[in-house]
């Protein structure tokens, strides 16, 4: 039996992807830090099956059969069948697990979809179906994007951008590009602690959320702002300007939530505790001059971003002031990581 196993991390967007068109193409370029501890491990083994033109899979999540995920994966694999016709030649046994609790309210599509596509692209290569000279990570990124936009950024170490941008000559809407070579050394060991405000499932799926941008009255202004923020963020990440990095990161998070609040129907995804945390972080920074910044994805959990040099002081602050706002005091400590890894 042929098999493979890959680990892929989650990522946290600094400039956010929000709004898409066509076949999973982003309305604006985005950039993220690749994480380390929050990851998915996926293992696939395959066996030949009779030719009947159908894709056939088993899907186990944390050793339990998961039919809801199975049907999502199956419909995604069917959508890429013309690019990966060999999928119908085998039966696919897929086993997946996350390092973070499934109910932690952390989006897992980025790590799970990139781990899945790393396995499939690797098997494609092992079976001799991949063109010689294929850029493996680019191919994984391309297919991960088709599964879930933000997943395409998870494959690269440290930081990755996605989406055509005038400020990034090699950028594309179809796959992510690495940004590690240009990333200032001060960001290489940056921390991202996730404050779990709520473990409830998201009340708006990302696809529904992205689609709300079609009629959002601020959509055009948003895409202009995202372009400007990409320009400024890239400069800050290159030069090591942590203050400017933090200013843009927080503005992006608040703008994302403002867009959700101004959509029709409107979604308020922050909880009172999210706001308490945000206010405390802003005050802490003012009082101590310690560079601690927040961001949020499309949910209530707050990510805290800060340089390694202030770890101890931030830890004390989290324990004394912030963890009380979290569900069961839960905080997931993470930092910038290496990207996709074969196990
Ligand atoms: C707020 O990648 O989950 O996290 O392409 O529909 O799967 P789909 O959306 P998804 O959207 C993530 C949005 C975000 C911002 C970001 O990660 O850039």
66 lies in the same domain as 179: yes
Element (H, E) at 12: strand 2-15
Beta strand 30-48 with 159-162 is antiparallel
98 lies in the same domain as 19: yes
- Ligand 1, atom 3, lies closest to the CA of 206
State how far the Cα of 71 lies from the Cα of 59, in Å rounded to an integer. 9
We report the CATH number of the domain holding residue 246 as 3.30.70.890
Element (H, E) at 98: strand 90-98
- Ligand 1, atom 14, lies closest to the CA of 297
* Residue 30 per-residue DSSP state: E
pLDDT confidence of residue 203: 67
* Residue whose CB lies within 8 A of the most ligand 1 atoms, among 109, 143, 194, 206, for a mutation test: 206
pLDDT confidence of residue 201: 62
44 lies in the same domain as 62: yes
Task: Confirm if 302 and 106 have CB atoms less than 8 A apart.
Answer: no
155 alpha-carbon distance from chain centroid: 10
Q: Which long-range contacts (CB under 8 A, 24 or more apart) does 172-175 make?
A: 173/25, 173/26, 174/25, 174/142, 174/145, 175/138, 175/141, 175/142, 175/145
Task: Confirm if 68 and 24 have CB atoms less than 8 A apart.
Answer: no
Q: Examine the fold and report which residue of 183, 198, 230 is the final residue of a domain before the chain moves on.
A: 183
In-domain check, residue 224: yes
In-domain check, residue 210: yes
159 lies in the same domain as 275: no
Which two three-digit tokens encode residue 227?
């372009």
Q: Examine the fold and report which residue of 139, 156, 183 is the final residue of a domain before the chain moves on.
A: 183
**Dihedral angle, C-alpha 224, 228, 229, 231, nearest 10 °:** 140
Which two three-digit tokens encode residue 168?
């990034």
In-domain check, residue 291: yes
Task: Confirm if 280 and 272 have CB atoms less than 8 A apart.
Answer: no
* Residue whose CB lies within 8 A of the most ligand 1 atoms, among 150, 203, 296, for a mutation test: 150
* Residue 127 per-residue DSSP state: T
We report the CATH number of the domain holding residue 10 as 3.30.230.10
Q: List CB contacts of 18: < 8 A, sequence separation 6 or more.
A: 27, 28, 209, 210, 213, 222, 256, 259, 298
For ligand 1, the distance from its centroid to the CA atom of residue 146, given in whole angstroms, is 12
138 lies in the same domain as 57: yes
pTM listed for this prediction? 0.96
For ligand 1, the distance from its centroid to the CA atom of residue 13, given in whole angstroms, is 9
* Cβ atoms within 10 Å of 172's Cβ, excluding its own: 20
94 lies in the same domain as 202: no
160 lies in the same domain as 241: no
Would you say how long the chain is, in residues? 343
Domain count of the chain?
Answer: 2
DSSP string, 266-318: ------HHHHHHHHHHHHHHHHH----EEE--SSS-EEEEE-GGGHHHHHHHI
Q: Examine the fold and report which residue of 183, 204, 230 is the final residue of a domain before the chain moves on.
A: 183
195 lies in the same domain as 309: yes
Task: Answer whether 273 contacts ligand 1 (Cβ < 6 A).
Answer: no
Burial string for 292-330 (b: 16+ CB within 10 Å, else e) reads: bbbbbbbbbbbbbbbbeeeeeebeebbeeebbebbbeeb
Domain extent for 260: 188-335
15 lies in the same domain as 65: yes
State how far the Cα of 100 lies from the Cα of 331, in Å rounded to an integer. 11
In-domain check, residue 68: yes
pLDDT confidence of residue 204: 80
In-domain check, residue 340: no
Which two three-digit tokens encode residue 49?
């099956």
**Dihedral angle, C-alpha 205, 210, 214, 218, nearest 10 °:** 110
In-domain check, residue 343: no
For ligand 1, the distance from its centroid to the CA atom of residue 301, given in whole angstroms, is 15
154 lies in the same domain as 215: no
167 lies in the same domain as 37: yes
In-domain check, residue 128: yes
State how far the Cα of 250 lies from the Cα of 266, in Å rounded to an integer. 21
Which two three-digit tokens encode residue 174?
């179809």
161 lies in the same domain as 34: yes
**Partners of 331 in the β-ladder:** 195
Question: What is the residue-level pLDDT of the chain in tens, covering all 343 positions?
Answer: 899 999 999 999 999 999 999 999 999 999 999 999 999 999 999 999 988 889 999 999 999 998 888 999 999 999 999 999 999 999 999 999 999 876 666 768 999 999 999 999 999 999 999 999 999 999 999 999 999 999 999 999 999 999 999 999 999 999 999 999 999 999 999 999 999 999 876 668 888 899 999 999 999 999 999 999 999 999 999 999 999 999 999 999 999 999 999 999 999 999 999 999 999 999 999 999 999 999 999 999 999 999 999 999 999 999 999 999 999 999 999 999 999 999 9
Which two three-digit tokens encode residue 280?
């405390």
Task: Answer whether 252 contacts ligand 1 (Cβ < 6 A).
Answer: no
pLDDT confidence of residue 129: 96
In-domain check, residue 320: yes
């Amino acid at each position: 039996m042929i098999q493979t196993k890959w680990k892929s991390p989650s990522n946290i967007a600094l400039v956010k992807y929000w709004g898409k068109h066509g076949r999973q193409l982003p309305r604006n370029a985005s950039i993220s830090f690749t994480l380390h501890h929050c990851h998915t491990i996926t293992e696939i083994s395959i066996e030949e099956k009779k030719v009947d033109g159908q894709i056939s899979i088993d899907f186990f999540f944390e050793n339990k059969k998961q039919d809801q995920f199975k049907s999502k994966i199956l419909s995604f694999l069917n959508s890429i069948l013309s690019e990966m016709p060999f999928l119908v030649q085998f039966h696919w046994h897929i086993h997946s697990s996350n390092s973070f609790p499934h109910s932690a309210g952390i989006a897992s599509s980025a790590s799970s979809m990139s781990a899945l596509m790393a396995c499939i692209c690797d098997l494609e290569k092992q079976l001799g179906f991949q063109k010689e000279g294929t850029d493996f990570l680019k191919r994984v990124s391309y297919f991960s994007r088709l599964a879930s936009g933000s997943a395409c950024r998870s494959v690269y170490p440290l930081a990755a951008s996605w989406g055509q941008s005038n400020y990034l000559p090699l950028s594309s809407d179809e796959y992510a590009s690495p940004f590690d070579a240009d990333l200032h050394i001060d960001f290489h060991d940056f921390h991202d602690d996730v404050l779990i405000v709520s473990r409830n499932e998201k009340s708006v799926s990302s696809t529904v959320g992205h689609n709300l941008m079609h009629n959002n009255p601020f959509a055009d202004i948003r895409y202009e702002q995202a372009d400007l923020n990409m320009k400024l963020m890239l400069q800050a990440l290159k030069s090591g300007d942590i203050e400017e990095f933090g200013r843009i990161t927080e503005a992006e998070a608040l703008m994302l939530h403002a867009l959700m609040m101004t959509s029709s129907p409107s979604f308020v995804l922050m909880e009172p505790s999210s706001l308490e945390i945000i206010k405390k972080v802003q005050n802490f920074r003012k009082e101590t001059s310690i560079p601690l910044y927040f961001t949020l994805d499309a949910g209530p959990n707050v990510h805290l971003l800060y340089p390694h040099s202030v770890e101890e002081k931030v830890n004390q602050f989290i324990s004394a002031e912030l963890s009380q706002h979290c569900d069961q005091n839960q905080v997931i400590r993470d930092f910038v990581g290496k990207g996709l890894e074969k196990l």
